[in-house]
Amino acid sequence: MISHTDAMVDIETIATSNNAAIITIAAVRFDALNADKDMQELELLIDVDNVIDVWKLDVDPGTIDWWGRQSKEAQYAAFEKGPRITLDKALSKLAKFVGGATRLWCQGMNFDPVILDNAYRAVGQPSPWMYYNWRDSRTLMSFFKDLPKKSGTAHNAVDDAVWQAEMVQTCLKRLNVEYLR
């Protein structure tokens, strides 16, 4: 059972538009005010052909080229690692995983939540959150110039989500935040 109050969500895509094709989704359930509790992770690897051919989401040659210049590890996680599932199944699983979270976090409000909302709309499922559930970890992290460097693979959705969740906990602790709405 998932009891954590917070969820960090991170996606990887092959476009940067609002209707970008999503290729991986990662989510972490955690407690923003308690770093002692273990996090729970979810990784959803999506079939690229399904996203493009069935759901007609956007592909951008510039982003494909950008992926071609990323590390082999990042490319493997984004495109080769399996098993891959269809976008609608992935979004159902994400909805179940984040269900009950009071706060959803993302690294910038104008990317992940917007693209995910449009993907839910494309597959005909309701978004499993309200717009007011979202919090921005990027803004929180910008308050500090000496945060620890990210570990793991850059642009690996799970590694990014875990690190961002850890940074939310770190920032809130440094700010002596004891209550969060």
Partner 1 sequence: MSLRKGQKVTVKGGRKSITCELTDIDHRTNKIWIRLPTNQVLLMGWDAKQEAYTASLAGLDFSVDPKDN
Task: List interacting residues with partner 1 (CB under 8 A).
Answer: 14, 21, 23, 48-49, 52, 56-59, 61-62, 64-65, 67-68, 75, 78-80
What HEC string does the chain produce?
CCCCCEEEEEEEECCCCCCECEEEEEEEEECCCCCCCCCEEEEEEECHHHHHHHCCCECCHHHHHHHHCCCHHHHHHHHHCCCCECHHHHHHHHHHHHCCCCEEEECCCCCHHHHHHHHHHHHCCCCCCCHHHEEEHHHHHCCCCCCCCCCCCCCCHHHHHHHHHHHHHHHHHHCCCCCCC
133: nearest Cα among 163, 106, 173? 106
- CB 79, min distance to partner 1, A: 4
Shorter beta-carbon distance to partner 1: residue 45 or 140: 45
Shorter beta-carbon distance to partner 1: residue 10 or 58: 58
- CB 73, min distance to partner 1, A: 14
- CB 48, min distance to partner 1, A: 6
Shorter beta-carbon distance to partner 1: residue 68 or 124: 68
- CB 111, min distance to partner 1, A: 19
Shorter beta-carbon distance to partner 1: residue 2 or 54: 54
- CB 75, min distance to partner 1, A: 7
Shorter beta-carbon distance to partner 1: residue 15 or 140: 15
